Structure 1
Amino acid sequence: MKKIFYVSMLVFLVSCGNSEKKKNDITDQERDKLLREKKERLTKDVSGMQSVSNIEWGSIRFTPYVPPYPDLGKEGIAIIEDKINSLVSKYGASGSVGNPSFVIIPAISITSKNVTATAPTLYANKYNVTFYTANLLDGTIFSSASFAFKGVGESPLKAFINGLESSNINHTDFVGLLTEGKEKAIRYYEANCSSILQQAKTEASQKNYEGAILILKTIPKEVNCYKSSSDLIANYFKLYNGENCNQLLSKMKAELGKESAMGGFNEAAMSYYALIPADAPCHKDAQSSYTNYLKKLDPNAKQKWLTDEREFNLRKDKQEQDNTYNMTKADLESKVAIEGQSLLLDKYKKDAEYNKLPWLRQLVHLGEWDPFDATSRINK
C-alpha cells in the first residue's frame, strides 16, 4: 500500500513539474507570436492613424497649406485641404507625416464669370488653380502645375467648391509636380543641411523636443546629414522623456500590474523603465516600484525574472528590431514626432501672414482678380 502511495505521489510531482515547465517554457514560434501581438498592441490607434510603425521616415512629404483667402471661409479651406490630401496620398507623397515647412500651395484665380438669369441665380465660373510645392519658411519654390475646371453654384464660393470637388486633375501633370518637387526638395536639404540641423537645435533649446525630433526624422535618407541627425534624435528623445517621465512611469506601473503571458517577465514594463533617464525626476520612484515588485515574487519566480531580464537587456543592447524595447522606443519616437508636426504646423501658420511673407502674398494673392478678395474688381 505504501508503494502505491509513493508511486502515486511521484507521478503527481512529475506531472506538476511537466505542467510548470509547459507554463514557463515557450517555443521560439510562440515567443515570436507573442512579440508580434505586443507590437500590434503598442502601435495601434495613434493620432487617428492605424499604426505609427508603418510611417516611412526620411521621405519628402508635402503638407497642404491654404492661405487665408478673405472670403473663402473655413468650409472652402477645409475642402481644398481635403482635395490636396486626396491627391498627394493617391500619388504617393502624402502629407500626413512630414516636415510642415514643406508645403503644397494652391493659387486660385477666376478666368471667366457668368451669372445666369434663372431663379435662383446661379454663378457659372471657370477657374484656374496653380499648385506650388515650396518651403514655407523661406519661399523656395520647387515645382508648379496648373489645372482648369468649371463650377456652378448659388454663390461664387459654392460655385468654386462644387467645381473643385468635381474636377479631374490630370494624373501625369500632378505626378510630375510631386516628382519634381521631391527631387528639388532633396537637393534643397543637401544644400541647407547645417541650417536645418540648426533649426532643430533651436526648437530643442526652447524645449520643443517634439518639433526638433520631427525636423530630424523627416530629413531624407539620401541626404548627407541624415546619419548625423540620429545622435541628435537620441539626445532630444532622452530629454523629452526626462521632461515627461511621469507618463512613462504610469505606463510602467500599469504593465507591472498585469500578468505577463511570457512566464512572468514583463518586457513592456521593463521597456518603459529603461526609457526613463537616470537623471529624470521620477527615476527614483521608478526604481522603487521595480524593487518593490521584485520583493513580492517568490524565490523561483524572482530568479526566472532576473534570468529573463538579462536576456532582455542583451537583446536591447544589440538593438534587435523585434525586441519589445526597441519597438516601444521606435513607436514612442514616432508619436513624439507626430505631436511635433502639429505644434510646428500651428507655429508656421501663425507666422505665415501676408505681411510677414511677401513672397507668399505675391504668389497666391492675384490683386484685382483675386476671387476671394472682397475689394477686387471681379466681385464688385
Structure 2
Amino acid sequence: MKKFNKIFLSLLFIAGLNFSQAQTAAKKSADDSGKISLTAFVPEQTEKIPDGAAGMLTNKINQILSQNGMGSSAYNSRFIITANIVVLTKDLTATAPPMTAMTLEVTLVIGDGFEGRKFASHTVTVKGVGTNENKGYMEAIKLINPKNPEIQSFVASGKSKIIEYYNSNCANIIKQAKALEQQNKLDEAIYMLTSVPDASADCFNKAMAAAEPLYKKQIDKECKTRLMEATTLWNANQTVDAANQAGELLSAIDPQSSCFGEVKVLSAKIGKRVQEIDKREWKYKVDSEIGLEKDRIKAIRDIGVAYGNGQPKTVNYNVRGWW
C-alpha cells in the first residue's frame, strides 16, 4: 500500500504540474517571451573597437533583451544575441576643438551559438560625435533604440525560432539528460532539462516531468552527505558552536529527501542538548515545511542555475558567417 501511495502521489504531482503549466501558458501568453534567456555576446569585431565602446555595446544588447521581454542569461546559454560593428565613416569635424564623427553599421543577430545557426538578424545605421574615437563610438551606440519596431520584430523572430528548436528537439534533449543520469551527472542533466523555457509549453512540461525523478535522486544524495557531515561535527564536539555548524548543514536538506526522518532525529537530539547547556531554544530547528510541492519547480530550477553558474565564464561561440 505504501508503495502504491508513493507512485500515486508522484503521478499526481506530475499531472498537477502539467495542469499548472498549461494554465500559466494560457493566462500569461503575453509574458512567455520573458521566459527565454539569451547570453549577450560581443565577439572580436571586424574592425577593432575601443574597450569602452565594446562595454556599451554589451549593455545595449542587454537593454534590447530586457525592453523586449526577453531574459538575459547569467551563464553561457546555447542561444545568444550578438552584434558586429562596421565603420562606414570616421571624420574629424572642422570645429575647435575638433570632434570625431562616426557612422556605424551595427548588425544584430540571434542564434544558436553552439551549432553556429543564425535565427534572425537586423542591421541599423547610427551616427555619433565625440571628443575622441571611443566617445564617438559610444554616442552612436547610444542611439540604437531597443523599442524600434524593426528591432522588436527581430527579437520576436529570434524568439519564435528558439521555441521551434525546443519543440523539434524535445525528445532528444530528454534522451541526452537520461544519458547524463546514467553517468551520475545529475546536476548537468537537471541543467539541460531546466534550460527548456516555459514558452515552449509542451516541451517544458515533458522536461520538468523528466527532471522530477532526477531531482529526487539529487536531494537524496545531498541528504546523506549533509547528514553525515552534521553527525560527524556533532559527535566530535557537542558545543553550541558545533550545534550551529551542524544546523547550517541540516537546514539546507530538502524535507522530501529519503533520509529526512534521520535529519529530524538528529535535529531533536541537538536541540535538546543545546537547551541543556545553553538554557535556550536552538535557532536551527528543522522546518519540515520547506521545499514542499509548491516550491518544487523553483527548487529543481535552482539546481540547474547553480550548475550553469559554475561553468566556465568564457565560451567559444560559433558565429562564423553571421555577418
TM-score by length of structure 2 reads: 0.65
Question: Does the 8 A contact of 2:34 with 2:70 survive in 1?
Answer: no
Amino acid at match of 1:92: G
1:161 aligns with one of 98, 118, 138: 138
* Residue of 247, 250, 255 corresponding to 1:274: 255
- Report matched runs for 1:179-328 at 5 Å: 179-201=156-178, 209-221=186-198, 222=200, 224-241=202-219, 244-245=222-223, 272-278=253-259, 286=263, 289-290=266-267, 292=269, 325-327=292-294
SS at match of 1:274: coil
Q: Which amino acid aligns with 2:315?
A: K
- Following the alignment from structure 2 to structure 1, what is the Cα–Cα distance between the partners of residues 135 and 37? 30
Q: Which residue of 2 aligns with 1:350?
A: 315
Q: How many residues align?
A: 267
Query: What CA distance in whole angstroms lies between the structure 2 residues aligned with 1:84 and 1:107?
Result: 11
Distance in 2 of aligned mates of 1:72 and 1:126: 13
Which shows bigger deviation, 100-109 or 145-154? 145-154
Supply the AA of the counterpart residue of 1:272.
Answer: I
Aligned to 2:37: 61
The answer for the alignment partner of 1:339 in structure 2 is 306
CA distance in 2: counterparts of 1:62 and 1:162, whole angstroms: 25
- The Cα RMSD (Å) is 4.2
Distance 2:222 2:115 in 1: 33
Rounded to whole Å, the distance in 2 between the matches of 1:182 and 1:228 is 20
| Contact 1:193–1:225 under 8 Å retained in 2 | yes
2:86 aligns to what? 109
Unaligned runs of 5+ in 2: 1-30, 231-242, 276-285
More contact order relative to length (CA 8 Å, sep ≥ 6): 1
- In 2, the alpha carbon distance for the partners of 1:328 and 1:256 equals 24
- Residue 134 of structure 1 and its aligned partner are, at CA, apart by 0.6
Q: What displacement does 1:210 show?
A: 4.1
Listed as ranges, the gaps of 5+ residues in structure 1 are: 1-54, 259-268, 299-308, 317-322, 365-380
Query: 1:211·1:343 contact (CA, 8 Å) conserved in 2?
Result: no
Preserved contact between residue 57 and residue 218 of structure 1 (Cα < 8 Å):
no
Q: Is the 8 A contact 1:133 1:141 kept in 2?
A: yes
Task: Quickly say closer, same or farther: Cα 1:59–1:98, change in 2 above 3 A.
Answer: farther
Deviations 1:139-177 (CA, angstroms, capped at 9, x unpaired): 222222222211223443332122112433452112211
The Cα offsets for residues 100-143 of structure 1, whole Å up to 9 and x where unpaired, read as 11111112212222123556553211112121111111122222
Q: For residues 126 and 135 of structure 1, what CA distance do their matches in structure 2 show?
A: 29
**1:137 paired residue number:** 114
Given that 1:271 and 1:325 are in contact with CA atoms closer than 8 Å, whether structure 2 keeps it comes out as no
2:128 maps to amino acid: G
Q: Distance in 1 between matches of 2:94 and 2:116?
A: 44
- 1:83 equivalent among 26, 40, 60: 60
Distance (Å, rounded) in 2 between the aligned partners of 1:275 and 1:119: 72
2:173 maps to amino acid: I
Q: What is the TM-score of this pair, normalised by structure 1?
A: 0.56
Matched residue, 1:303: none
